[in-house]
Amino acid sequence: MISENTKKEPLVRIAKRAELSPKKAALVRFSSIIVALLIGGLLILALGYNPISVYGGIIEGSLLTPTALKATAKIAVPLLGAALAIAPAFRMKFWNCGAEGQITVGAIASTYFALYHVGDLPAPVFFVVTFIVSAIFGGLWGLIPAFFKARWGTNETLFTLMLNYIAIGFVKYLRIGPWMDKGQMFPKVPMFDRAARLPDVFGVHIGWIIVLLLVVFTYIYMTRTKHGYEIAVVGESVSTARYSGMNVAKIIMRTMFISGAVAGIVGWMLALGTNYTLSDTTANGYGFTAIVVAWLAKLNPFVMVLISAFLAVLQKGSNSIQTNFGIPASASEVLTGLILLCMLGSEFFINYRFVFRKKSVGGDD
Amino acid sequence: MENAAIQLKNLTKKFGSVIANDNVSLEIRRGEILALLGENGSGKTTLMNMLSGIYYPDGGQIFVDGKEVIIGSPKEAFDLGIGMIHQHFKLVDVLTAAENMVLGIKENGRLNTKTIGDKMKKICEQYGFNVDPDKKIYDMSVSEKQTVEIVKMLYRGADVLILDEPTAVLTPQETTKLFAILRNMKKDGKSVVIITHKLNEVMELSDRVSVLRKGVHVGDFNTSETNPQELTNLMVGHAVTLNIERTKCENPVKRLEIKNLCCVNDDGVKVLDDINFEAYSGEVLGIAGISGCGQKELLEGIAGLQKVSGSIEFYPPDGSEKKELNGKSPKEIIKCGIALSFVPEDRLGMGLIGNMDLADNMMLRSYNKGKSPFADRKTPAKLAEKVVDELEVVTPGINVPVRNLSGGNVQKILVGREIASDPSVLMSAYAVRGLDINTSYTIYNLMNEQKNNGCAVIYVGEDLDVLVELCDRILVLCGGKVSGIVDGRTTTKEEVGLLMTSLGGGKEDNL
């Protein structure tokens, strides 16, 4: 009855490990970034370049000159904003993949004011009004999938994704149709008047201050308030939430309105602070990269600051190595992907270890 | 030993820092029924999972027919003639019983349902089963599914059959039938292991009993030479008394009056049909019934979580005007002092959050108090400490995620929290689901305490022995209807069992 191969113990098997101390776990996570950089170095080496000088080029091209630093900040700010936007939704396990669309809708709302009402209001009032309107429209765009999910249990991932295309398609319509710049050959929305552009503080539009304030607000909202508690409970177990008398539908809709509203604010700063116009690429993929940021930070707003800065450095730096070394910028995307893979992979080693046949040796990393 | 089918020597299994089995050695003989007895979390299921190839032991040896074997997967366990029936059945819902028989077996040639059916029939006749090979699994009752699982193991040639708490989902009548089948199998020379924590089953069915406590094997007995008290003391580790103290109802006052309650579920099935009853303060009203007969809908209907028609009148303890609860939101009903704790199969899903710590779980009831947008975390933390203290919850601290606690401790926290809210009506469903004797009795005593404090307790239970001992009155549900309300002091288990299946309207009435 017993076949030959069943007589041996398995060569490698996986065993759950005792819980690691937070310090050790942080060490594992940090070393995963080192591992990713090493693998990335091999990749650069294979392309025929010196990894050290290329990594140096990334640092130099993103951080070491004032111009480069400002450009990096301009990437990091909306990225962080978008990550903050999706954080409450993700804590609720509502997979909001629609930040891209919510950003775009917010940008459309501010563009309307920037094109047609810029002279009507004093500058501070103009910015406050556009800020609020962008937030409301972004929030409403987020509310749509939440309403359908709460009412009929639709799949929010697909729903939010699809709404992105509708928002971007609507921008195309505006660009070719009613909002087209008549003086141009190429159909595009006109550049905004100077009065409709966000003021700079230390060389970067004022949005960075708002985003840093949002970091603190989001942290307090998610960890200290009743709303934050409700969000966490709904995320962990809808039936428990119902049994404790929570109105789950209301919580889902309220949270998604807030999530969309923050994304709308990101759209406001992208339109009025960065691009000074509206285009199909106003959201520029921030809504998607933000998912990576939020995950890697485990939804902690303060860690998001670091992660979004790190990804911005990679993105800006890779543009400059493209110019300086002739390495395609897509190489940096490969690097980003490697880092993500290694960091997610490290979670496995935090929870499990390998046990080898005969002498048991823990495979730590 | 001459007739030992399986011997386990010094088996050890660890999960992280938790030792589930510590050097366990025992043997399973041919032609016997062995009961594996132990409290929750004592490592019974883990031990048997190592035998059936689900887990791989961290140390120790397994011998089958005297030869050492390595069991690396359930398939290798099958090859050795070992089959296990888990608490959650491993059947494919959309397939028929016959198709489930051969699922995963590598055989040459075409799938011939007729030969499978014939082989099944032979097995059924031999042991006294009753299965329709062409019936789809999703059309079956829990008891039928269990039968299919057992037949499946025999079909695959199992000589050693392990059943994990097989009676948890059965009515008394179904249990009797199952036991008869198991005895037939024993006569045929097969070995049967039943994992259980119910002593009456051990005494009734088994030839020998092995007791585990906290992962350690603490004793083997011939069933005829031991008694429940000895086994309990060994299982728990200290002497316990097995009596529920049923006090007299002190001046009962009407708290709830349910009239013409009906409920139609999402599939358009009438799950509650004209329910009428009253609940009084200072009394425990038991609700008995086969699972899925409307218990859940009834409680959820009262708590405002399920849409129902009819009237639910609440008489507040302060003597003020009666209130109609039907139509009120769950939050308003909780405010009236009506608490519901429902322990579902996974034990966490409906009252607690596994990933949150004890204090945050206490907050579920209280977080919404006050006008401030910020949540008060200090009061729940104090409450958590109080519950841990008073109910003797075993935990490293109140900042530990609930999922790290054992089942009994989790349920103590759940029930403790509901009681702490000082309810005027306490509805509790399956509060002792999966709990060991010791903790179960703690929970029964807690309910009795509430009753003595003038709370109207409504208790939905599975164990008829307990219902008959604990409750002042028992309402029996059958197929969404009330088939009878009996006096707990005068009724018998058999009477309640009959009422549970009497109307003939029950979906799962297949006796």
Per-residue pLDDT of A119-155, as tens digits, reads 888 989 999 999 999 999 999 999 999 999 999 999 9
B396 touches chain A (CB under 8 A): no
Q: Give how many domains chain A has, as a whole number.
A: 1
Cα–Cα nearest to B181, from B141, B154, B203, B202: B154
Gyration radius (Cα) of chain A, Å: 24
Structural domain includes residue A278: yes
Q: Cα-Cα-Cα-Cα dihedral of A128, A129, A133, A139, to 10°? A: 30
> What's the predicted TM-score (pTM) here?
0.76
Could you tell me which residues are beta bridge partners of residue B313? B257, B324
For A263-296, the pLDDT digits (tens) are 999 999 999 999 999 999 999 899 999 998 998 8
Residue B23, classed as helix, strand or coil, is strand
| Residue B16 contacts A, CB cutoff 8 Å | yes
Chain A residues lying within 8 Å of B70, measured CB to CB: 6-9
Residues B292 and B263 sit within 8 Å (Cβ to Cβ): no
CA–CA min distance B34, chain A (Å): 25
Helix (H) or strand (E) holding A222: helix A207-224
**Across-strand partners of B220?**
B210
Neighbours of A56 (CB within 10 A): 14
Residue A188 lies in a domain: yes
CB atoms within 10 A of CB A10: 14
Inside any domain, residue A168: yes
* Contact (CB, 8 A) for B416 and B390: yes
Round to whole Å and give the CA distance between A228 and A79.
22
- The whole-angstrom distance between residue B458's C-alpha and the CA centroid of its chain comes to 18
State how far the alpha carbon of A239 is from the alpha carbons of A234, B298, B344, B415, B492, in Å. Answer: 8, 16, 10, 17, 36
**Separation of CA B240 from chain center:** 22
Cα-based distances in Å from B507 to B6, B274, B510? 40, 17, 8
Q: Which segments of B4-132 does DSSP mark as H helices, in order?
A: 44-51, 74-79, 97-102, 113-127
Q: Record the tokens describing residue A51, joined without a space.
A: 């990894």
Residue A133 CB partners (closer than 8 Å, separation 6+): A109, A110, A113
pLDDT at B240: 67
Q: Tens-of-pLDDT digits for all 511 residues of chain B?
A: 457 889 999 999 887 777 888 999 999 998 899 999 887 778 888 899 999 888 888 888 899 988 888 888 888 888 889 999 987 788 888 988 888 888 877 776 777 778 888 888 888 888 888 888 888 888 887 788 888 998 998 888 889 999 988 887 777 778 888 999 999 989 988 999 999 877 888 888 999 999 998 889 998 999 999 888 888 888 877 766 667 778 887 778 899 999 999 998 877 788 898 999 999 999 999 999 877 788 888 998 998 888 899 999 999 988 888 889 988 888 889 888 888 877 765 566 678 888 888 889 888 888 888 788 888 888 889 989 988 888 778 788 888 888 877 767 788 888 888 888 888 899 988 887 767 777 788 888 888 888 888 899 999 987 788 888 889 999 998 888 898 899 988 888 888 888 887 654 444 433 3
Q: Which residue of B has its CA nearest to A225?
A: B374
B 53-72 residues with CB < 8 A to A? 56, 58, 67, 69-72
> Is A335 inside any structural domain?
no
**Which residue in B18, B56, B80 has the most chain A C-beta atoms within 10 A of its own C-beta, making it the best mutation to test that interface?**
B56
CB-nearest to B353 from A18, A226, A236 is: A236
Pair A227, A254: CB distance under 8 Å:
yes
d(CA B232, CA B324): 46
Q: Does B364 touch chain A (CB under 8 A)?
A: yes
Mutate to test the interface with A, among B19, B296, B347, B353 (most CBs of A within 10 A): B353
| Nearest by CB: A229 against B331, B354, B375 | B375
Which pLDDT score is estimated for A150? 93
End-to-end CA distance of chain B: 41
Does any domain span residue A40?
no
B157 touches chain A (CB under 8 A): no
**Is there a shared CATH topology between the B4-236 domain and the B247-337+425-511 domain?**
yes
> What is the distance in angstroms between the Cα of B320 and the nearest Cα belonging to chain A?
24
The secondary structure of B332-350, three-state, reads HHHHCCEEEEECCCCCCCC
Report the distance separating Cα A110 and Cα A114, nearest Å: 6
pLDDT at residue B434, rounded to an integer: 65
**Taking the domains of chain B in order of start, what are their residue ranges?**
4-236, 247-337+425-511, 355-421
Q: What is the distance between the alpha carbons of residues B312 and B330, in angstroms, rounded to a whole number?
A: 13
Instruction: Please check whether residue B466 touches A, CB under 8 A.
Output: no
The DSSP code sequence of A92-126 is TT-----HHHHHHHHHHHHHHHHHHSTTTS-HHHH
B247-337+425-511 is a CATH 3.40.50.1000 domain: no
CB B381 within 8 A of CB B362: yes
Give the CA distances from residue B473 to residues B110, B458, B498, in Å, rounded to whole numbers and listed in that order.
58, 10, 16
Report DSSP state, residue A64: I
H helix runs in B257-338, sequence order: 295-302, 330-335
The three state secondary structure string of B104-140 is: CCCCCCCCCHHHHHHHHHHHHHHHCCCCCCCCEHHHC
Q: Output phi, psi for A200, to 5 deg.
A: -90, 150
pLDDT at B247: 81
Select B4-236's CATH number: 3.90.1150.10, 3.40.50.300, 3.90.930.60, 3.40.50.11720: 3.40.50.300
What residue in A sits closest to B55 (Cα-Cα)?
Answer: A15
Residue-by-residue pLDDT tens, chain A, 365 positions: 444 444 556 677 777 776 677 788 888 888 888 888 888 888 888 888 888 988 898 888 889 889 999 999 999 999 999 999 999 999 999 999 999 999 999 999 999 999 999 888 898 999 999 999 999 999 999 999 999 999 999 999 999 999 999 999 999 999 998 998 888 788 889 899 888 899 888 888 889 999 999 999 999 999 999 999 999 999 998 888 988 889 999 999 999 999 999 999 999 999 999 999 999 999 989 999 999 899 888 899 999 999 999 889 988 888 888 888 888 777 777 877 887 788 778 878 887 877 776 544 444 44
What pLDDT is recorded for position A6?
A: 43
Segments forming the whole domain that contains residue A114: 78-304
Q: How far is A36 from chain B (nearest CA, A)?
A: 28
| CA-based nearest residue in chain B for residue A350 | B16
Reduced to 3 states (helix: H, G, I; strand: E, B; else coil), residue A162 is helix
**B292: its two tokens:** 């899925």
**Are A226 and B81 inside 8 Å of each other by CB?**
no
Q: What is the number of CB-based contacts under 8 A between chain A and chain B?
A: 92
Q: Token pair of B160, please?
A: 């050693």
> Is B374 close to A226, i.e. CB distance below 8 A?
yes
How would you classify the pairing of strands A352-356 and A12-16? antiparallel
* Backbone dihedral region for residue B504 (phi beyond 0: left; psi -120 to 50: alpha; all else: beta): left
**Mutate which: A4, A6, A21, vs B, most B CBs within 10 A:** A6
pLDDT at B508: 41
Tell me, what DSSP letter sits at residue A225?
B
CB B155 within 8 A of CB B81: no
What residues does A42 pair with on adjacent strands?
A: none
Q: 3-class SS at A204?
A: strand
CB nearest to A10's CB, from B16, B56, B344: B56
Q: Distance (Å, rounded) from C-alpha B181 to C-alpha B197?
A: 20
- Beta-carbon neighbour count of residue B12 at 10 Å? 16
Beta strands in B283-424 (DSSP E): 283-288, 309-314, 323-324, 338-342
Measured between CA atoms, the residue of chain A closest to residue B330 is A245
Residue A2 domain flag: no
Q: Which residues contact B219 (CB under 8 A, 6 or more apart)?
A: B210, B211, B234
Residue B281: closest CA among B417, B445, B472: B472
Q: Within 13 Å and on the Cβ side, how many CA atoms surround B95? A: 12
Question: b/e per residue, B321-355, with b = 16+ CB within 10 A?
Answer: eeeebbebebeebbebbbbbbbbeeebbbbbbbbe
Closest CA of chain A from B327, distance in Å: 14
Rounded distance between C-alpha atoms, residue B345 and residue B86, angstroms: 14
User: What is the least distance, in Å, from the CA of B455 to any CA of chain A?
Assistant: 20
Type of residue numbered B57: P
The answer to whether residues B69 and B149 touch, using CB atoms and an 8 Å cutoff, is no
SS (HEC) of A13-62: EEEECCCCCHHHHHHHHHHHHHHHHHHHHHHHHHCCCCHHHHHHHHHHHH
